[in-house]
Every structure is written in C-alpha cells, then in structure tokens.
Amino acid sequence: MQLAFPDAIYLVDAIQGGVMLINACKPALESSYITKVIHDCKRDSEALYFQFGIKLNNVVDTQIAYSLIEEQEGRKRLLDDYISFVGLLADPRYCGISYLEKEEVRFLLRQDPNFWTYRPLSEQMVRAAADDVRFLLYIYYKMMEKLNQQSLWSLAVRGALYCRCFCISDNNFADWPSLPPIPDNLKVEGNAPEEEILSVLDVPPGKMGRVIGRRGSSILSIKESCNAEIFMGSDKGPPDKVFIIGPVKQVRKAEAMLRGKMMDVQYY
C-alpha cells in the first residue's frame, strides 16, 4: 500500500508487515477528517474491506473528478471510457508526464503474477510503487480549482459509493459512514440534484450471459438507456452480482431492465 504525503512517500508492506501493520493505518483510512486521494478506488476498497475489515472513507477519486470536470466543460464521456491513471498523468492540464515504467511493470506482472510478492523489493519495484502515488496530490489540487459546488458534492457522494461498490454488506451498509447530504445552497427549487445510490443485484446462476449479451450488446444497451454506472463483479469478484451507481430514478430504471434480461420468457 502506497501513501503519499506532501513531504514523503511511504510504502506499507502488507506481506512482511501483515495485518498488524495495515491495521495501524485503519484509523486514517476510515477517518472522515483525512482526505484520501485515489484513482479508481473500487478494487482498492474491496481488498481493504475483505482482507482487513477496513471501510475506506472520505475519498476523492481522481477518475470521478476527471469525468465531472469533462461534463462541467461540456465534453461528454463515451460509455465505459474511464480515464486510466497513465492517461491522467499524460494529460497536460493535470500533469503532462509519461509513465512508461508502469507499462513495463504491467508486462512483468503478466509474465509472473507473483511479481509483487518478491522480497526485498527491487529498485524498479520501489520506484514504480512510489510513482503510483507521487503526483496524486498535485493532480488533486489542480482538479479542486476546476470543480464547481455541484460537482464537488457529486464527487463526494460518488467517491463514497465507489468505496462501497464491491463490498457486499448484509445490512445495506448501515455500519458505513452516511453519504454526504445535498448542500443547502444546491437545493434550488426545481433544480436540486437528485440523491444518488448504490444498488446491488443478484444474478441467478446461468443468467449472467443474458445480462451481458453477445459481445456485451445487452449490457451496453442498458447503459445507453440509463444515466447510471453499471459494474459487473465478474471473475474478480464478487461473482454473479451487478452494481449500479447513479441518481435514484436512473438506478431503478437500470434495475428493471436488468431484471427483464434475467427472466425466463417462453412463447407458445
């Protein structure tokens, strides 16, 4: 786990340090007073939750912030076209640097899935791990200058929902921190933003193929019809589940369409 502060970068070794060392970070990771800047926090949050029982909280997700700024400035994002961290670093508006070493490490990881388990860490491993977080605070400050009040609220809510996305909860996340409320200055009559939620749908055994469709055609048509983000648990887990994030009405619309794909319909 990589942690970047304004004056230092720390690499926390979850293998050698184990649960005790990660749990030492738990108060900060769950704190409502400490802002965590992460690029696409969904899988990071899932790992912290299932491996260490940590409920990641108060996250500014730079992937979400990038999309909100694009919307704010009138540029529409294509479906499933989420900015990668490498792409964000390369964008001259935020950093403007190439990250070739990331691609080199990805290549090595494909060759050997145990790449990150070897100790001691090589110089390349230390450099690549540190560079994953080195520029995030700089990018964060650049983004904060661009976001308007409604986008800042959306960023906070979606960041919280992203943290919960793959973290299955039997009590509907009752023991997680509450979502940020709509600020009073945004509650303009007839123009207030709609509450956003996370919905988790269970897909019956053997029906995921229908949900996805041939070459993804079914899920793509649903995404095109609903202003909501839809993620699949897939083989990375949790399997046989679909996660929907967005405004309440759009999430309910997506739920209905997904359930329709799961139904057995026979014609006579």
pLDDT digits (tens, 9 = 90+) for 101-160: 888 888 999 999 999 999 999 999 999 999 999 999 999 999 999 999 999 999 999 999
CA 57 to each of CA 87, 195, 247, 253: distance values in angstroms, whole numbers, following the listed order? 25, 19, 20, 28
Residue 266 binned pLDDT confidence (cut-offs 50, 70, 90): very low
The pLDDT of residue 35 is above 60: yes
Tell me the domain boundaries of the chain. 2-179, 194-267
Portion of the chain with pLDDT greater than 90, in percent? 65
Q: How far apart are CA 70 and CA 183, in angstroms?
A: 22
Q: How far apart are CA 149 and CA 29, in angstroms?
A: 25
Q: Is the pTM for the entire model greater than 0.95?
A: no
Residue 215 in tokens: 């070459």
Kindly state which CATH superfamily the domain 194-267 is placed in: K Homology domain, type 1 (3.30.1370.10)
2-179 domain in CATH 3.30.420.10?
A: yes
pLDDT digits (tens, 9 = 90+) for 190-242: 677 889 999 999 998 888 888 888 888 889 999 999 999 999 887 777 888 99
Residue 267 binned pLDDT confidence (cut-offs 50, 70, 90): very low
Overall average pLDDT of the 163-177 stretch = 91
Higher per-residue confidence, 152 vs 267: 152
